[in-house]
Structure 1
Amino acid sequence: MRVTKLIVGIFLILLSIWLFIHGLLFGIIGLNNLQNIFAGIIELIMAGLILAAGIVYIVTENRDGLGGDITNFVLLLIAGLISIGGWLYNGLIWYGALVLVIGVGFFIWHLCKDN
């Protein structure tokens, strides 16, 4: 589980960097007319939440407690629900589904591993 948390943490950090750049360029600045400023702001909020979750995954990779997994579950659940609520841009729904699967999957995996 340690290596998986490290890989997923790095993946989440890279995903947050991508979402930040995409939200800034296409949502806030407006390089793409298919995405509005509301979707850009949602992407920036999601990038912050996903970055925090990635950092927590990397920091708590050696720990067996549920603290890091509960924190990541809450952070990724909020990011997923925000992205599903921002239905104005279709790409956000896919990012939201991805982070929901990661957050819920790790939480359930850790619960099953402890029993």
Structure 2
Amino acid sequence: MKITKLVIGILMIILSVFIVFQSTAMGLLNTFSNKGSHSGTGGIIMAVAYLVAGIVYVATKNQTKLGGDIANAVILVLFGLFALTSADKTFQDLIVWIVLGF
């Protein structure tokens, strides 16, 4: 279980960096096109959730109890629901990141 938590934690941290770049680009695109969309903000929120969950996985890799896993589930569900409110049709990848977090 140690290796799995470490690998998943590192992948989530790397994925959060990718989501930040993608969401920043989408936010700039929405700003320049004056669409009034907030999908980029939702993407940043999901990136923070992935970053926090990845750090928790790496920090709790030696524990056999489920405290870290439960904390990650709560973090990803709460942040996902919050990001889901800002999702729209311009940034469809946000839905993918939200579903992947659930």
Deviation at 1:72, TM superposition (A): 0.5
State the partner residue of 2:72: 72
Deviation at 1:70, TM superposition (A): 1.5
Deviation at 1:18, TM superposition (A): 0.7
Deviation at 1:38, TM superposition (A): 0.4
The 1-side partners of 2:49 and 2:36 are apart by 21
Render the CA deviation track for 1:69-93: whole Å, top value 9, x for unaligned.
Answer: 1211111112332343333032111
State the partner residue of 1:38: 38
State the partner residue of 1:10: 10
Structure number with greater CO (CA < 8 Å, separation at least 6) is: 2
Deviation at 1:37, TM superposition (A): 4.5
The 1-side partners of 2:74 and 2:95 are apart by 18
Q: Do the aligned residues in 2 keep the contact of 1:49 with 1:79 (CA within 8 Å)?
A: yes
Aligned-residue CA RMSD in angstroms?
2.0
Taking structure 1 as the reference length, what is the TM-score of the superposition? 0.74
Q: Do the aligned residues in 2 keep the contact of 1:79 with 1:99 (CA within 8 Å)?
A: no
Amino acid at match of 2:39: A
Task: Extract unaligned runs of 5+ from structure 1.
Answer: 101-115
Q: Do the aligned residues in 1 keep the contact of 2:56 with 2:72 (CA within 8 Å)?
A: yes
State the partner residue of 2:93: 91
Taking structure 2 as the reference length, what is the TM-score of the superposition? 0.82
The 2-side partners of 1:37 and 1:61 are apart by 38
Alpha carbons of 1:75 and 1:24: their partners in 2 closer, same or farther (altered >3 Å)? same
Alpha carbons of 1:36 and 1:8: their partners in 2 closer, same or farther (altered >3 Å)? farther
